[in-house]
Structure 1
Amino acid sequence: MTTVHALTVDAGLRDLRAADHLVRTLADELALPEDVFGCTHLIRGDRPRVAVSFTFPAGAALDAVRDRLTARGYEVTDGVPDDTGRAVRYPGSSALTGTLTVADLLTRSAITRVTVLGASGAPDPGTPVVTADHVRPQWQRGELVLTVQPARGGTLVPFEVPEPTPCCADH
């Protein structure tokens, strides 16, 4: 990812679902263009939390967005907390619904690579990916990479599911 301009919003969130919601809500309320990336970042240390970032391809809107977020009471800093953000909103993300091929995922969005968990090579471009309307790629060495896993009928599914079962849910 070539970061031209970025802002991080620390709202003290404790879980990814709330951070995903904040990314989508702020993007809508601020009328951010489709080419703005909205990511989540796990912040460790004395106060573990999830921060969100917005990366802009140009700086024109950056000052106005920073001012509007600060006026709403958010803690806003320049830049991103790390280079491994989990993308919630990115160019083409709204088109990744239903079942698509690996090739479709790559051509319709900013995702640059798809990897299969536990496999050494890239998946066949014609392999169907059942998105469950929840596609969360992650930045890895400057590439937006979606990790998938094998599923029924020769399909793939994103490794991250929209409604994960809490650990030890059956205990």
Structure 2
Amino acid sequence: MTSYAFTVDAGLRDLPAADHLLRTLAAELALPEGVFGCTHLVRDDRPRVAVSLTLPSEPLLRTALERLTGAGLEVTPGTPDDLGRAVLFPGAGALTGTLTVADLLSDSAIDRVTVLGSPDEPAPDTRLVTRDHVRPQWTPSGELVLTAMPAAGDALVPFEVPDPTPCCADH
């Protein structure tokens, strides 16, 4: 299947702002459920977070590029790397509340779940408390993998927390 990707670099400095931009772009462009929207850390002389969108058709790509460049956004073809952190992906909207690992894998584009500190993958009936914030990562082998960590009650939670405390917030 052919896909069509582009990157928007709005000079963002943090992941929550990039997540918000992806959701805003998806809504404004009326993108279908099957798109992938990822964040990418750009590590150069001006560190920032860029976002990429991968669309299912060339006409949708052309329309999106016309609207975004018309709005003055910096848009480049392709993605900055193959290791993006997925915010938008098939099934993402259904990953709320508590569900089993088996449900997560069958209802979304996520290929696998790993657990910090464990060499084994969790059992399919293991409960995952999503906290309504599931951000899997693309791997070099092309898998979309959610990293989780143990939580109370023999459950798991995604490693990334929804509202992280900024570094040095109490200083």
TM-score range, shorter chain: over 0.9
Match of 2:134 in 1: 135
Using the size of structure 2 for normalisation, the TM-score is: 0.96
Contact 1:3 1:56 in 2 (8 A): no
Using the size of structure 1 for normalisation, the TM-score is: 0.96
After the TM superposition, which segments of 4 or more aligned residues of structure 1 sit over 6 Å from their partners? none
CA separation in 2, counterparts of 1:113 and 1:58?
A: 26
Match of 1:23 in 2: 22
Asked whether 1:6 is paired with 2:5, we answer: yes
Match of 2:157 in 1: 157
Q: Is the alpha carbon distance of 1:13 and 1:3 closer, same or farther for their aligned partners in structure 2, counting shifts above 3 Å? A: farther
How many pairs were matched up?
170
CA separation in 1, counterparts of 2:15 and 2:35?
A: 19
**Secondary structure in 2 matching 1:24:** helix
Q: Is the alpha carbon distance of 1:3 and 1:146 closer, same or farther for their aligned partners in structure 2, counting shifts above 3 Å? A: farther
1:29-85 per-residue CA deviation (whole Å, 9 max, x = no partner) reads 100001110100000111100000001133231111111100011000000000000
1:112-141 per-residue CA deviation (whole Å, 9 max, x = no partner) reads 000001110110000000000000000012
Amino acid at match of 1:100: L
How many percent of aligned residue pairs carry the same amino acid? 70
CA separation in 2, counterparts of 1:8 and 1:160?
A: 23
Contact 1:3 1:55 in 2 (8 A): no
CA separation in 2, counterparts of 1:99 and 1:170?
A: 32
**Secondary structure in 1 matching 2:145:** strand
Gaps of 5+ in 1: none
Amino acid at match of 1:162: P
Gaps of 5+ in 2: none
CA separation in 1, counterparts of 2:45 and 2:82?
A: 21
Match of 1:71 in 2: 70
How far the C-alpha of 1:167 sits from its partner, in A, is 3.0
RMSD: 1.2
CA separation in 2, counterparts of 1:107 and 1:48?
A: 36
Amino acid at match of 1:146: L
Amino acid at match of 1:164: P
Residues 1-171 of structure 1: matches in 2 within 5 Å?
Answer: 4-140=3-139, 141-171=141-171
Q: Is the alpha carbon distance of 1:17 and 1:112 closer, same or farther for their aligned partners in structure 2, counting shifts above 3 Å? A: same
Q: Is the alpha carbon distance of 1:88 and 1:3 closer, same or farther for their aligned partners in structure 2, counting shifts above 3 Å? A: farther
How far the C-alpha of 1:3 sits from its partner, in A, is 6.4
Amino acid at match of 1:96: L
CA separation in 1, counterparts of 2:47 and 2:41?
A: 7
